[in-house]
Amino acid sequence: MIHRIHILLLVLTSQTCLLANGKSLINPNLRIVNGSNAGVGEFPFMCALYYKGFFTCGATILSEEWILTAAHCVYNRDESEFSVLTGTNDLMDPNGTETYVSQVIIHEQYQNTIDQVDDIALLKLTVALEFDSLTQPVTLSQPNGDPPANSAVVVMGWGVNQYKGHPMQYLQKATIDLYNNPSCEAIYEPYGINILGTNLCAGTPQGGIGQCTGDSGGPVVVEGSPTVQVGVVSFSAKPCGIQGFPGVNTRVSQFIHWIQNNTDL
């Protein structure tokens, strides 16, 4: 018997986290599903994406002027209303730096459908970031450089810690495992969802750990020296962390040339 699940985008459709006077009006006690607080400066490339002053998605720093996120986080929205918060794990930290976005570039073949094909976007900032120990660019996975299935990866974000919950205050992280694409395809295909070569799936067989609403656009990384981003959070089954359904991410290594062609990187 096929169990009923809901495949939804991991994006805050009801914007519940207001950035006002350097502070976010959120519930400070919630977190990524069964994650833990990230250390200060542990992921200096991580940033929070805001729309009209409300937290909406995660993102990563590519350079002083460029940010990487998911296309569905910015699709059909006014690009002048986006800003990013950098240099902090705490959405209520008055010392974090808010910078507005001047340009949004969505992948030309992005499809806002259940498959979320080519779910990737670039943001250009109005003012260049100043790098320090809390603000640094991420290293991206290169073509043919992705780790094998069953490798441990880390997903992070300020998303909710349960389905229909609220964004949390502190950046959360969780360690999960990569799935091979055929296994992931076998899980999602009965529900009419295609897993493509541009996707990267990650989760745990037992469930209960992983990405949830609001974590969209944030990174999936392999920790090391340097830590390498292999995925951009795209979508998953609901309720969050349901057993047997890994999260689906955009495979960064398949978009390196697209990123280079659209930036000065």
Amino acid symbol at 105: I
Residue 139 has pLDDT above 80, yes or no: yes
Assign domain 36-40+138-253 to a CATH class.
Answer: mainly beta
Specify the residue for token string 């205050």.
169
The reported pLDDT for the residue numbered 165 is 62
What is the pTM assigned to this prediction?
0.88
Give domain limits for the chain.
36-40+138-253, 46-136+257-262
pLDDT category at 164 given cuts 50, 70, 90 is: low
Q: 72, 90, 107, 234: which one is catalytic? A: 72
pLDDT category at 161 given cuts 50, 70, 90 is: low
Structure tokens at 91: 């959405």
Q: 90, 119, 146, 215: which one is catalytic? A: 119
The reported pLDDT for the residue numbered 33 is 60
Evaluate whether 220 touches 249 at the Cβ level (below 8 Å): yes
For 110, the 3-state DSSP assignment is coil
Could you read off the pLDDT of 205-232 as tens digits, one per residue? 887 777 877 899 999 999 999 999 999 9
- Of 23-37, 54-68, 137-151, the one with minimum mean pLDDT is 23-37
Q: Taking Cα atoms as reference points, which of 255, 67, 3, 33 lies closest to residue 160?
A: 33
**Distance (Å, whole) CA 246 – CA 33:** 13
Could you read off the pLDDT of 187-202 as tens digits, one per residue? 999 999 999 999 999 9
216 catalytic per annotation: yes
Evaluate whether 249 touches 179 at the Cβ level (below 8 Å): no
Q: 83, 141, 216, 236: which one is catalytic? A: 216
93 catalytic per annotation: no
The reported pLDDT for the residue numbered 177 is 94
Report H helices in 50-131: 71-74
For 203, the 3-state DSSP assignment is strand
Please tell us whether the domain made up of 46-136+257-262 is placed in CATH 2.40.10.10: yes
Structure tokens at 256: 């390196």
